[in-house]
Amino acid sequence: MSLTIEQLKHAFEQQFGQAPEYHFRAPGRVNLIGEHTDYNDGFVLPCAIDFETHVVAQPNGSNKIRVLAADYTYQLDCIDLEQEIAHHQEFQWANYVRGVAKSLQSREVELLGCDLAISGNVPRGAGLSSSAALEVALGLAFSTLSKHYLSKSEIALNGQQAENEFVGCNSGIMDQLISAQGQQGNALLIDCRSLSCKPVEMPESLSVVIINSNVKRGLVDSEYNMRRMQCETGADLCNVSSLRDLSEAQFATFEDQLDPVTAKRVRHVVTENARTQAAAIALQNADVQTLSALMAASHVSMRDDFEITVPQIDYLVELVAAIITDSGGVRMTGGGFGGCVVALVPHKKVAEVKASIATHYPAKTGLIADVFVCRPSAGAEIVVQP
């Protein structure tokens, strides 16, 4: 259970004997459309959400970083900055902290000894990027305390490096970039090659509803890495540096030369890139009918071509689509194999969506789904500093 900020500050003072003077936050995210396109240099359309990770901190005048994980039964980790930063053998959460610190060192940031306490309410394991929120909040904290100020893009890239090289998941840049650069009331159309971010205003008539299927996502890391490898193979066979550079017309000329599985993976990424750019235009124009069709096509592509949905997720999409029809949009979001559904739902239909899920989903699956109604929110920030 996450703590209030006052509770987190109190826990810090109890553990370290002084009050923290710094407070940093970074949000989780939901991706409206553009799945598995980010590591293919493509386009994504996420928004930051009002679920977030908080870090309170204070320099301690030593050569050690001490970290209190308030949400993990107040576990404590200590990083000796005079030693090579190695993996923690017991606490997985600590490897995100250590990975961010080590990646900053590789960027010639001279870390200072400090004490940190961490808490957050981004649901873990739900595909809402609790790990990216943690990485970005930590990157902002460490660089600020060290007075080595990095851009939001650099903090995002550092978080991605930590996840790829230290934690060991080959994620793209989207999660960290939207956590760092999100804008209140907007989604961001992100070009994952140039890292350019274009704000896209969200219609005020729609709620962002996230439905956690509570399907355990045990296969996600291995299957995620497998999908990435299949995409790289497809790009090589189609003679492009990444699938971002392959148009739908060009893909048609190569399709028969690819094995059936690779062809399906490539088709998803190529068509998803086109859908994402079209969805940004539809969203900007408040063209909800077009957006609805694009989100539906995205889900079908993830189900049939990229093969990352599961029956429980497909059923949630069916339940929501039956209620909102073309007055909103719904699709799976995240890495796949469980996790969450994202829906853009007219405010007046949110209660009906919740009631339908509460009634039908447990009866069909034996599981209870968690429903979060979110707002597009601002990205990472220094909340308090002396």
Q: Would you please indicate which residues are annotated as catalytic (active-site) residues?
A: 175
Instruction: Specify which residues 347 forms β-bridges with.
Output: none
Q: Which two tokens stand for residue 220?
A: 């996600």
246-to-250, 271, 272 alpha-carbon distances in Å: 6, 10, 12
Residue whose token pair is 């799976």: 332
CB-based contacts of 101, cutoff 8 Å, min separation 6: 65, 79, 85, 111, 138, 142
Q: 3-state secondary structure string, the chain?
A: CCCCHHHHHHHHHHHHCCCCCEEEEEEEEEEEECCCCHHHCCEEEEEEEEEEEEEEEEECCCCEEEEEECCCCCEEEEEECCCCCCCCCCCHHHHHHHHHHHHHHHCCCCCCCEEEEEEECCCCCCCCCHHHHHHHHHHHHHHHHCCCCCCHHHHHHHHHHHHHHHHCCCCCCHHHHHHHHCCCCEEEEEECCCCCEEEEECCCCEEEEEEECCCCCCCHHHHHHHHHHHHHHHHHHCCCCCHHHCCHHHHHHHHHHCCHHHHHHHHHHHHHHHHHHHHHHHHHCCCHHHHHHHHHHHHHHHHHCCCCCCHHHHHHHHHHHHHHHHHCEEEEECCCCCCEEEEEEEHHHHHHHHHHHHHHHHHHHCCCCEEEEECECCCCEEEECC
Q: Which of 115, 111, 113 is nearest to 100 (CA)?
A: 111
